[in-house]
């Protein structure tokens, strides 16, 4: 089930008693949360709408609330965040498990309980997880791909009587790694910048939207692999000046080289690789484009060079930035 199907259930007044929400697109998860929240009229929410975060709240309280009848209302909604008892390492007492299973098997007809699993790695072998998934409707909110993100942003701007130039949209996609939530979060300042023209330009995007660390690391990898020492050092030093710790830069860069090697050894669609590697499809697309320009032995040597830096960082007191600059000079000259 997706968000549109949930909204149709709400419209048809055909809601289930239990829902499990999975996904990692923040804006879609927020919309799902709002959809469930709005099932209860604002005047009744203090009594009939509850939200629990199991990181610091007890499952006992969730079960107690879910087993209580609505207070002077048609229904009660109970939202559960971070249900870590569903993961491999998460624990649940025997008493809580028995109570939750009993609730799942014989729910209060007027109550709706929603478990926001989001991107938690749940253990589907556990009895309690199997039981919950058996009785609950599953709402999947995966990250939008590049095409979907592009279309959604364009439509939202059109609804506000704004346009965005194609080069500007492409740059926005590059700077946010095509993450719809990140793109949407950048819209308010782009819209404000273009108040008079109603047209978002490439200049607006390059001026207002910072590149993510991942996007900048893509540029750095490309500069290293295409043997551009000056550009490589400039990107690296800019990252340091912007407050990125050298250790973090090195770790992300090592991960990027590893990702390129993994993708070089895989076959299938971008969506298939995305599921297997657990990353956004747009990163797969960019990586495949980059691989067309690189020699595999050179890529492997660069990865091993970065691994060598990590070993030295753990075994010596050498300066991370100095080690990396030596790596750049060795691999680009």
Compute, in degrees rounded to 10, the torsion defined by CA atoms 319, 320, 324, 326: 10
Q: Which residues are CB-contacts of 307 (< 8 A; sequence separation ≥ 6)?
A: 254
Predicted confidence band of residue 119 (pLDDT cuts 50, 70, 90) = confident
3-141: CATH number:
3.40.50.300
CA distance 90 to 121: 10
Q: Tell me the percentage of the chain whose pLDDT exceeds 90.
A: 68
Domain boundaries, the chain: 3-141, 146-208, 213-332
The pLDDT of residue 120 is 78
Architecture in CATH of 213-332: Up-down Bundle (1.20)
Decide if 238 contacts 304 (C-beta within 8 A).
Answer: no
pLDDT band at 110 (very low <50, low <70, confident <90, very high): very high
Per the CB < 8 A criterion, the answer to whether 3 and 141 are in contact is yes
How many other C-beta atoms lie within 10 A of the C-beta of residue 229?
A: 16
Q: Residue 159's pLDDT band (boundaries 50, 70, 90)? A: very high
Q: What is the rounded (10 degree) CA torsion for 322, 327, 332, 333? A: 70
Query: For residue 279, what pLDDT is reported?
Result: 82
Residues 194-209 have pLDDT tens digits of: 999 999 999 999 999 9
Tens digit of each residue's pLDDT (9 = 90 or more) over 91-105 = 999 999 999 999 999
Strands (E), the chain: 18-23, 49-53, 76-81, 111-118, 137-141, 163-164, 199-200
How confident is the model over 116-136, as a mean pLDDT? Answer: 91
* CATH for 146-208, options being 3.40.50.2000, 2.60.40.10, 1.10.8.60, 3.40.50.720: 1.10.8.60
At residue 76, φ and ψ (nearest 5 deg) are -125, 140
Tokens of 313: 């960082």
Q: Please, what's the b/e burial string for 205-216 (b: 16 or more CB within 10 A of its CB; e: otherwise)? A: beeebebebbbb
């Amino acid at each position: 089930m997706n968000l549109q199907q949930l909204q149709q259930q709400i419209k048809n007044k055909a809601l289930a008693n239990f829902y499990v929400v999975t996904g990692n697109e923040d804006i879609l998860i927020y919309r799902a949360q709002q959809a469930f929240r709005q099932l209860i009229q604002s005047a009744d929410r203090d009594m009939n709408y509850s939200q629990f975060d199991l990181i610091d709240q007890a499952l006992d309280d969730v079960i107690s609330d879910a087993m209580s009848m609505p207070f002077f209302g048609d229904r009660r909604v109970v939202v559960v965040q971070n249900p870590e008892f569903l993961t491999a390492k998460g624990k649940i007492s025997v008493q809580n498990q028995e109570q939750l299973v009993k609730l799942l098997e014989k729910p209060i007809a007027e109550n709706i309980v929603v478990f926001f699993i989001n991107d938690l790695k749940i253990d589907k072998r556990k009895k309690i997880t199997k039981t919950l998934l058996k009785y609950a409707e599953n709402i999947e909110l995966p990250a939008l791909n590049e095409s979907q993100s592009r279309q959604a942003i364009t439509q939202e701007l059109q609804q506000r009587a704004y346009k965005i130039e194609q080069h500007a949209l492409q740059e926005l996609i590059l700077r946010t790694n095509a993450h719809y939530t990140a793109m949407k979060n950048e819209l308010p300042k782009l819209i404000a910048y273009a108040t008079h023209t109603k047209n978002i330009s490439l200049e607006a995007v390059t001026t207002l939207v910072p590149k993510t660390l991942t996007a900048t690391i893509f540029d750095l990898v490309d500069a290293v692999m295409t043997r551009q020492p000056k550009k490589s050092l400039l990107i690296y030093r800019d990252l340091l000046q912007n407050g990125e710790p050298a250790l973090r830069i090195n770790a992300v860069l090592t991960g990027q080289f590893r990702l390129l090697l993994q993708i070089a050894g895989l076959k299938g669609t971008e969506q298939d690789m995305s599921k297997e590697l657990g990353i956004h499809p747009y990163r797969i697309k960019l990586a495949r484009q980059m691989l067309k320009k690189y020699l595999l032995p050179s890529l492997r040597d660069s990865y091993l060079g970065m691994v060598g830096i990590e070993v030295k960082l753990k075994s010596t007191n050498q300066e991370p930035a100095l080690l990396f600059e030596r790596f750049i000079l060795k691999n680009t000259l």
